Structure 1
Amino acid sequence: MSTILLPQAFWFRVTASSPKVESIPREGDAERILDLPNTCVIPDLAALDGRKSWASVRVGWNTRGLGIAVHADGFGPNAKVPDRPEGFATMVFWIDTRDTRNVSRATRHCHRFQARLTLARDKKTLRSEVEQRPIARATADAPLASPSLLRQRAELLKNGWRFELFLPEAALHGFDPETSPRLGFAYQISDGEREDQFLGIGRDFPLGENPSLWSSLDLKR
């Protein structure tokens, strides 16, 4: 049996479509801030390497900003232990508002947003914290957005969980869908008990530092 040395996504550039959704973020609705439609689903590439994904990701946009939703199926064996040191789940989203493909170090248009979910002691409520962090080895840092700008919501479901995040234009330096309708995009979803999930290649490569390894999002009208 031959051993696969490189993930299949290494051999091609992943480009996904992200449709325009005028209704986000939803106002005055405590239940959902995005509720993105099925047309916003990002392709699942895990099957290329014989793996099965446990979370799906949706991305929608409008001139006000970018919405990202993660829906996880099931739980890890010890997920419902409150106050685990590693948290309930973590997510990292990398976004390049210029989709730069010919540089190996992040520019001022490259952003890293990290989300951490924790389970309350009632075992029914998910708390979420999101912050923007600098990218290592960047040639220039994007302005750091105040956490108060980042709208978010986490929800524990009967058999899984859901997380929604809206990044407003003010939090995305250089966000201009009219003149730059393609974004660099990558993510990592972790829950401590299941295999990390990525779009395209994973942490076997310097994904977090090198925007040329990120996938692309076409902002469709």
Structure 2
Amino acid sequence: MPLIPHSLLFRVTFPCRYVKNIPSDEGDRLLDLSEACRIESLAAMDERRSFADLRLAWNDFGLGVQLEVRGKDQEPQGSAARLRSSDGLTLWIDTRDARTSHRASRYCHQFYFLPTGGGPDGDEPVFSQTKIHRALQDAPLAAAAEVPFRCERIKNGYILEAFLPAGVLNGFDPEQNPRLGFFYVVRDAEPGEQFLSLNADFPYGEDPSLWSVLELVH
């Protein structure tokens, strides 16, 4: 693997497709996003393996998030008390895509989606939003009840689906600001970690200037 990741040498803009009828209140699936909504990982550029399929979509009501993880032999591991060390997805969103600062603003959000670790028995999915380290200003924190969230266990993995309503995305305004800053990492006790681009050698969790661009397109 190169000392300087290839993904650091340029900034990628990822299209985020418009999907009108999400979230769904019918059937078992909250989103069921198509392949057109897939966010391609840049892991292969730096000789890293991809094991997770992330798909994003938007409409005027908010942002849909779908993650599928395969290749597991064990049940996912997680705890609502240990978000950063649990299996699942961490997603960062900047509704203003202000890449001039190395510190987060009130428009920057950090969301956790875990397949397990919640509820009385610790076996229910977990959604949580936390403050970003060293932020200049903190985004308002969303309550779990505000975010529709489901997890389905499948053979050798799981599927997470969530819908982030516009009300929990401070500054979300697709018409005036169709370009969002974003980054993600998927953690798993078996295959390891999958990053959108940069790896754990970089402070992506607190520096929005390292994030990529998510462009809301029709």
Taking structure 1 as the reference length, what is the TM-score of the superposition?
0.89
CA pair 83-63 structure 1, distance change in 2 beyond 3 A: closer
Q: Which residue of 2 aligns with 1:66?
A: 63
CA pair 172-81 structure 1, distance change in 2 beyond 3 A: closer
1:50 lines up with 2:47 in the alignment: yes
Q: Which residue of 2 aligns with 1:123?
A: none
Q: Which residue of 1 aligns with 2:205?
A: 208
Greater Cα offset, 154-163 or 106-115: 154-163
Counterpart contact for 1:80–1:119, Cα < 8 Å: no
CA pair 34-5 structure 1, distance change in 2 beyond 3 A: same
Query: In 1, distance between residues paired with 2:166 and 2:86?
Result: 29
1:197 lines up with 2:194 in the alignment: yes
Measured after TM superposition, the shift of residue 129 of structure 1 is: 0.7
Counterpart contact for 2:76–2:188, Cα < 8 Å: no
Query: In 2, distance between residues paired with 1:83 and 1:133?
Result: 16
Give the RMSD, CA atoms, in angstroms. 2.2
Query: In 1, distance between residues paired with 2:147 and 2:205?
Result: 21
Identity %: 43
2:167 match: secondary structure: helix
Runs (4+) of structure 1 exceeding 3 A deviation are 81-88
Match of 1:167 among 156, 164, 176: 164
Q: Deviations over 1:3-23 (max 9, x none)?
A: 610211111102100010001
Q: Deviations over 1:122-168 (max 9, x none)?
A: xxxx6211011000100000011111111111111123211011100
Query: In 2, distance between residues paired with 1:42 and 1:91?
Result: 14
> Which runs of 5 or more structure 2 residues have no equivalent in the other structure?
none
CA pair 105-88 structure 1, distance change in 2 beyond 3 A: closer
Q: Which residue of 2 aligns with 1:16?
A: 14
Greater Cα offset, 17-26 or 195-204: 195-204
Counting only pairs closer than 5 Å after superposition, residues 1-221 of structure 1 correspond to structure 2 as 4-29=2-27, 31-75=28-72, 77=73, 79-80=74-75, 89-118=87-116, 127-221=124-218
> Which runs of 5 or more structure 1 residues have no equivalent in the other structure?
121-125
Query: In 2, distance between residues paired with 1:170 and 1:39?
Result: 26
Measured after TM superposition, the shift of residue 195 of structure 1 is: 2.2
Counterpart contact for 2:78–2:87, Cα < 8 Å: no
Measured after TM superposition, the shift of residue 88 of structure 1 is: 6.6
1:196 match: secondary structure: strand
Counterpart contact for 1:88–1:117, Cα < 8 Å: no
Measured after TM superposition, the shift of residue 192 of structure 1 is: 1.6
CA pair 68-81 structure 1, distance change in 2 beyond 3 A: closer
Counterpart contact for 1:14–1:200, Cα < 8 Å: no
Alignment: residue pair count? 212
